[in-house]
């Protein structure tokens, strides 16, 4: 009997606790106003981009096509060399196509390859004439020269020997500025090539001209080298 009474008592107590838990008032939540106005802490993954941020965000970098290098513009003419062409007639025909749109177009034959490009004045009639001209060259401020005394080139005046035609041509321009009309003697193993030298106004479309005449190469040219 005592055991049964204890069991009934425990049941009544459990029912009373359950009833109290169910019917108890909700706890009052106290709002902390100390942090009013402070943004709520959120994880980065929970944040949503604002419309303003989306509008001002930089766009991804785009790939741009490289711009070909342009010849520097100036007030004077621009000069170019087109070629090489198969032969002199081909260069003459190409020059004729360009003459209507440029100031000057001249076909010329040069040599390429080899080493030992000589800048000189060809042999004079005698040594006295060569020496007289040598004195004039010295008076113009040129120091690098000598008169050939003997051999197949006797009575010639040598004004420099260079490893490439470009360097030899620069020497020609330098001497011409001093009133000396020298020549370039190519090496024996050099090969002839035909080119078209062009002088044009600033802004000349050299790329379209190259395509029109079928030149494989176009390169800037010192206008002083054109005569």
- One digit per residue, the tens of pLDDT, for the chain of length 227 reads 677 777 777 777 777 766 666 666 655 544 444 444 544 545 444 555 544 444 434 444 333 333 343 455 567 889 999 999 999 999 999 999 999 999 999 999 877 766 788 999 999 999 999 999 999 999 999 999 999 999 999 999 999 999 888 899 999 999 999 999 999 998 877 788 899 999 999 999 999 999 999 999 999 998 887 76
Torsion, Cα 195 210 219 93, to 10 degrees, reads 10
Query: Where along the chain do its domains lie?
Result: 79-111+190-227, 114-189
pLDDT score of 55 = 40
CATH of segment(s) 114-189: 3.30.70.1070
Q: Do domains 79-111+190-227 and 114-189 have the same CATH topology?
A: yes
**CA angle in degrees (0–180, nearest 5) for 24-33-26:** 5
Per CATH, domain 79-111+190-227 is 3.40.50: no
């Amino acid at each position: 009997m005592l055991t049964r009474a204890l069991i009934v008592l425990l049941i009544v107590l459990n029912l009373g606790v359950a009833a109290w838990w169910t019917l108890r008032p909700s706890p009052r939540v106290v709002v902390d106003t100390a942090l009013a106005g402070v943004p709520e802490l959120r994880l980065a993954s929970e944040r949503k981009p604002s419309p303003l941020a989306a509008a001002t965000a930089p766009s991804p970098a785009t790939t741009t096509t490289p711009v070909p290098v342009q010849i520097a513009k100036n007030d004077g003419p621009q000069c170019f060399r087109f070629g090489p062409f198969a032969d002199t007639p081909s260069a003459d025909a190409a020059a004729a196509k360009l003459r209507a749109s440029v100031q000057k177009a001249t076909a010329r034959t040069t040599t390429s390859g080899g080493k030992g490009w000589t800048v000189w004045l060809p042999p004079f009639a005698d040594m006295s004439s060569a020496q007289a001209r040598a004195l004039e060259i010295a008076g113009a401020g040129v120091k690098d020269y000598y008169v050939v005394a003997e051999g197949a080139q006797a009575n010639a005046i040598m004004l420099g020997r260079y490893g490439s035609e470009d360097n030899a041509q620069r020497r020609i321009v330098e001497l011409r500025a001093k009133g000396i009309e020298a020549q370039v003697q190519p090496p024996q193993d050099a090969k002839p090539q035909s080119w078209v030298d062009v002088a044009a106004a600033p802004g000349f479309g050299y790329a379209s001209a190259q395509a029109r005449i079928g030149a494989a190469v176009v390169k800037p040219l010192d206008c002083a080298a054109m005569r």
